[in-house]
Amino acid sequence: MLGVGRSSQAAPVRGWYRRIRLRPHTAPMALTTELPSSGYAAMPWRNGAGVTREIAIDDAPGAAAPFRWRLSMADLAGDGPFSELPDIDRVLLLLAGDQVALAIDGAAPAPLGRHEAIRFPGDVPTYLTMAPGSGRDLNLMWDRTRAAGSMVVVTGARDVDAPIAFAVALGGPASVTLDGEAFALGEQDALRIDGGGALVVTAGEIALAEVT
C-alpha cells in the first residue's frame, strides 16, 4: 500500500463560500473555501460504468492529460475496469465498500480497507472487485508532468506546506482549525486551503489531499 499515512499531529473553484485570511507580519494572504458535499458536481465516468462527484479541478489540459489535477469522489456499484487516463498518477482512498480490491497493471489484487489508500498510475489497466453492494472512494489525480500529489489521514495537528490542499471529513462530521480559525465540516464536506497553514483536527478525522 502506498500513499497513505496517519498523523496525530488557485485553480478554479466552482462557487461556494470563501473566507479571506490575512496572515500576520509579512506572510502572504491565504484563502480558504468551504465546499459542502451537496455542491459537488456529478458526472458519468469516461467508461460509463459509474458516477464521479467532482470536488475541485484545475482543468488546464496538458500534452496528454485531460487536467492538471482533480479531487473527486466516485460511487462504486460493483466489479469493473477503471478508465485509463494518460500521464495521470492518482491516490484512491476507500470511504465505503466491502471486500474492495484493485488489480493494477496485471498484479495480484491489492485489498483495500475503509479509510486506507493506494497510489498507482492512472494510465495502466486497473480492475476493481468488491462484495455485492455499493461503495464510495475519494480520488486525487494529477498530471505527473506538471504536478505532484499526496493524501494522508489526519486526526490531530499537521502543518500544511503545499500551495493547494483540501481537508475532507471522513466517516462523519469533523471540526478543524487553520491558524486558529475554526471550521465545522459535515461528513464528506471539504475545506480548500490555498497558501498552507497550521491545521488541527479537533474532532473526527479528515483526509488531507495536497497538490504541488
Query: How does the average pLDDT of the chain come out, rounded?
Result: 88
Tens-digit pLDDT profile for residues 136-189:
999 999 999 999 999 999 999 999 999 999 999 999 999 999 999 999 999 999
* pLDDT reading at 191 higher than 70: yes
Q: What's the confidence (pLDDT) of residue 50? A: 76
Q: What is the pTM of this model?
A: 0.85
Q: What's the confidence (pLDDT) of residue 29? A: 53
* pLDDT reading at 3 higher than 50: no
Q: Which runs of E-coded beta strand occur in 10-85?
A: 18-21, 30-35, 41-44, 51-58, 69-76, 80-81
* pLDDT reading at 23 higher than 60: no
Pick from 4, 34, 33, 6: nearest CA to 149: 4
- How far is the CA of 154 from the CAs of 9, 60, 110, 159, 176, in angstroms? 8, 29, 23, 11, 10
* pLDDT reading at 11 higher than 80: no
Give the separation between CA 180 and CA 202, rounded to whole angstroms: 11
Q: What is the largest CA-CA distance in the chain?
A: 55
Tens-digit pLDDT profile for residues 64-105:
999 999 999 999 988 999 989 999 999 999 999 999 999 999
- % the chain with pLDDT above 90: 78
Q: What's the confidence (pLDDT) of residue 47? A: 67
* pLDDT reading at 14 higher than 80: no
